[in-house]
Amino acid sequence: MNATTDDLEARLRGGPSSTGTGAGEALERFRHRATDEDLVDVAYATMDSPVGELVVAATPTGVVSLAWDDAMLELVAAKVSPRILELPARVDEARRQLDEYFAGTRTRFEVAVDLSLSNGFRREVLRTLSTGVAYGQVVTYGELAERVGNPKASRAVGSAMASNPIPIIVPCHRVVRSGGALGNYSGRDGIVTKRFLLDLEAGSPPLSG
């Protein structure tokens, strides 16, 4: 009796031998179903780039965050919505434009952005920056402060840059110190990445001929 009981319990612990179609396929079906039923508030995917692997996330409004790791998604979950799924197709256009940017063939991003992660003055600064400072140009923190109508707020502009949720697309790398120093950069490898991006925009097209 005991032997039988133990055997039965062992078989229950082992689970059924058949797994059906498997969890992987079921998960893929679920991603489609969640999309069809409009239950995904934020879709994201990763991509390789010359400045390291990037995580691109978007709401139906536009790109909401771009980051060097998926820790940023936790902030998105807290501040926008936790209904976040990895759905590469939903960020394909943004990833394509980033690829073109890194290849030197794109000088302007034409994807909508969603600045939900910023508010007030910081959002205003990021908005001004993304429309007002073109590819290959730089402005100083003070000049940007002036453009938003608050010339004494260069430090606040600095912290707006540091909290930029969509670096590269909202080009905080184009904001530098007066006197020629680069200032800070909060992306991976900090100033090295900032230098890389400015060189990319200053240089001759890498895809020549």
Partner 1 sequence: MTLPPFEQVLAAHGAEVHRYLVAGVGPIDADDCFQEVMVAALRAYPGLRDDNLRGWLFRVAYTKAIDAHRGRARRPVPVDEPEPHLAPVAGPEPGADDELWLAVRDLPPMQRAAVLHRFLHDLPYRDIGAVLGCSEAAARQNVRVGLASLRRRVATPEQETA
| Active-site amino acid positions | 172
**Is there binding between residue 29 and partner 1 (CB under 8 A)?**
yes
**CB of residue 120 to partner 1, shortest distance in Å:** 22
> What's the CA gap between 1 and 17, in Å, rounded?
24
Binding to partner 1, residues 173-202 (CB under 8 A): none
Task: Report helix, strand or coil for 82.
Answer: coil
Q: Does 5 bind partner 1 (CB under 8 A)?
A: yes
Element (H, E) at 115: none
Interstrand relation of 139-140 and 84-86 (parallel, antiparallel or unpaired): unpaired
Shortest distance in whole angstroms from residue 28 CB to partner 1: 11
Cβ 11 to partner 1 shortest distance, Å: 6
Site for partner 1 in 39-58 (CB under 8 A): 39-40, 42, 44
Which segments of 90-153 does DSSP mark as H helices, in order?
A: 92-103, 120-132, 141-147
Closest CA to 58 of 71, 44, 76: 44
Q: Name the one range near partner 1 by CB under 8 A: 84-92, 102-110, 115-123, 168-176.
A: 84-92
- Please tell me whether residue 34 binds partner 1 under the rule CB under 8 A: yes
67 binds partner 1 (CB under 8 A): no
Residue 12 binds partner 1, judged by CB under 8 A: yes
Provide the total of helices (H) and of strands (E) in the chain, helices listed first.
8, 6
